[in-house]
Chain A
Amino acid sequence: MAVKVSIPTILRSHTDGQKSVQADGGTVAEVINDLDSRHSGLKDRLVKDGGLHRFVNVYVNDEDVRFVGGLEATVSDGDSLTILPAVAGGMR
């Protein structure tokens, strides 16, 4: 299950500056474990107390994984996984 993972600027110190990397796994948790084995330290930044860090959002094909199973959300071959920090965003 190869997926494309896009890495936000703030975490690129773990990926030698790469914006996007490949990883394997059938769930979000497995993808994160695989990422961590290739880019040491990433898991610690993303996961806290067994769940996603409060200010980290993870999307599989643009859908927030917190609403489709969290770390156990399924990931399929060819999916894209996007990691973003939670920010206040735009024009309010």
Chain B
Amino acid sequence: MARYDSLLDTLGDTPLVGLPALSPAPDVRLWAKLEDRNPTGSVKDRPALAMIEAAEKEGTLTQGCTILEPTSGNTGISLAMAASLKGYGLVCVMPENTSEERRQILQAYGARIVSSPAEGGSNQAVAVAKQLAEQNPDWVMLYQYGNSANAEAHYRGTGPEILRDLPGVTHFVAGLGTTGTLVGVGRYLHEQNPGTQVVAAEPRYGELVYGLRNLDEGFVPELYDADVLNRRFSVGSYDALRRTRQLLESEGIFAGISTGAVLHAALTVGERAAASGESAEIVFLIADAGWKYLSTGAYSGTLDEAAQRLDGQLWA
């Protein structure tokens, strides 16, 4: 059925697409879950809508309310779309070193942007948002890093969709940020089949992003549950860019840069499975398409040049 009553109703039920050219062996197959096919073009539509609906149900979010969220991009865009349809205001706190496209899209949807310093990346955005929440008690902070509705959206939606479309799935690979996707999907797949391998790909940025004043300023999202993960890889910008371009050239998929990091981890586990003669059905998640990253230069010039340009940028 391809007819919907509104844009919000088109959420989820995204395609799972085989990648015959990139799969490491005939019985080690890669599958991409195309989460860019959501209302605003990213996986974040799922948690954003789920968090809004949960807050509406609890009665904390009512007509005319202002939503506050630390977000450097996709979650903000999802919230901005839903807020404009549902009649809420939105204030996004985002680090100043994020791509221009994101700011423009957020502003087009009518969101207000408060900038936080580039040093410390999203850590600072979270800290500034928490301050603003104290100063404005009537604003509603959904707080994606600790809101159980975030992981729940994937537990109820993304996970069951994957198992329905590929009952033999052996690995699930996704990016680690708020940790909602991995925790939600991972928990569901482990419950259905405890042998499923849940693999995290964590973006590794330039030094600026790790510029804390002391270690106790570190941050682990409240949603994070290490017990759900089986392995966790750190992927630098060069490998992320290399895989992003490979995905485009070999399979025709124009994905965002974080997807390259996820593909890198998926290929790492796939190649190890192939080398040890195991079969595998590896699902990895495409969080968004490449449009919002064109201004970063990720898709042009040599890989070294592109990686250089990304240094100090938050690319996932």
A contact set with B: CB distance below 8 Å: 8-10, 45, 53-57, 59, 62-64, 66-68, 82, 84-92
Known A-B contacts A64-B232, A92-B178; A8 and B207 likewise in contact (beta carbons under 8 Å):
yes
- Which one of A64, A66, A86 lies within 8 Å of B218 (CB-CB)? A86
Whether the Cβ atoms of A63 and B232 lie closer than 8 Å is yes
B contact set with A: CB distance below 8 Å: 44, 70-75, 98, 102, 120-123, 125-126, 144-145, 177-178, 200, 202-205, 207, 209-221, 226, 229-236, 258, 314-316
Contacts of A59 in B (CB 8 A): 233-234
Q: Which residue of A lies closest to B224 (CB)?
A: A86
Known A-B contacts A55-B220, A63-B231; A92 and B73 likewise in contact (beta carbons under 8 Å):
yes
Q: Which residue of B lies closest to A46 (CB)?
A: B215
Whether the Cβ atoms of A88 and B214 lie closer than 8 Å is no
Whether the Cβ atoms of B202 and A89 lie closer than 8 Å is yes
Contacts of B232 in A (CB 8 A): 63-64, 66-67
- Which one of B209, B219, B234 lies within 8 Å of A64 (CB-CB)? B234
Whether the Cβ atoms of A91 and B209 lie closer than 8 Å is no
Contacts of B230 in A (CB 8 A): 67
Query: Could you tell me the distance between the alpha carbons of A53 and B214 in the complex, rounded to whole angstroms?
Result: 12
Whether the Cβ atoms of A90 and B231 lie closer than 8 Å is no
- Which one of A9, A53, A62, A63 lies within 8 Å of B210 (CB-CB)? A9
Query: Could you tell me the distance between the alpha carbons of A62 and B177 in the complex, rounded to whole angstroms?
Result: 17
Known A-B contacts A10-B212, A55-B216; A89 and B316 likewise in contact (beta carbons under 8 Å):
yes
